Amino acid sequence: MKHSDKQYRCVIIDDDFSSINILKEYISMTPKLTLVKSYLSPVMAVNEIKMFEKIDFLFLDINMSISGLDVAKMLRDTTEFIILITGHPEHALQAFSAHVDKFLVKPIPFEKFLTSVNQLLKREIR
């Protein structure tokens, strides 16, 4: 399979249903991405994702019952790229200490989503 044909496995964790729906739409509009599962509960997500084969992209909210920063640390070894998505830009410095790959502030236009995904994929190819 050519590298460009690869499908990248995605998971969404966000306690806001409307944010999940927006990300599902963006993933469906990006041919190389495939949604594996979405979660409203970070606890359920962490328990299940540890049993998955490696995830390529984790789209993760910060402000949930368990901080997305803590979830990122727990799932770092099972995830290639972690993109934190939040309405709280003040968490940016903390996000990078959790070794996330991108930090996006809601609301996110599709173009910004796509640019971020493509930047990470270009980094992977190198």
Inter-residue long-range contacts of 96-105, CB under 8 Å, 24+ positions, other chains counted: 98/69, 98/70, 98/72, 98/73, 99/72, 99/73, 100/60, 100/72
What does DSSP say about strands 102-105 and 33-39: parallel, antiparallel, or unpaired? Answer: unpaired
Domain that holds residue 13: 3-125
CA atoms of 111 and 91, how far apart (whole Å):
22
Q: What percent of the chain has pLDDT over 70?
A: 93
pTM for the model stands at 0.91
* pLDDT interval class at 99 (50, 70, 90): confident
Q: How many domains does the chain have?
A: 1
CATH of the domain at 52: 3.40.50.2300
Q: What is the pLDDT of residues 9-35, one digit of tens each?
A: 999 999 999 999 999 999 999 999 999
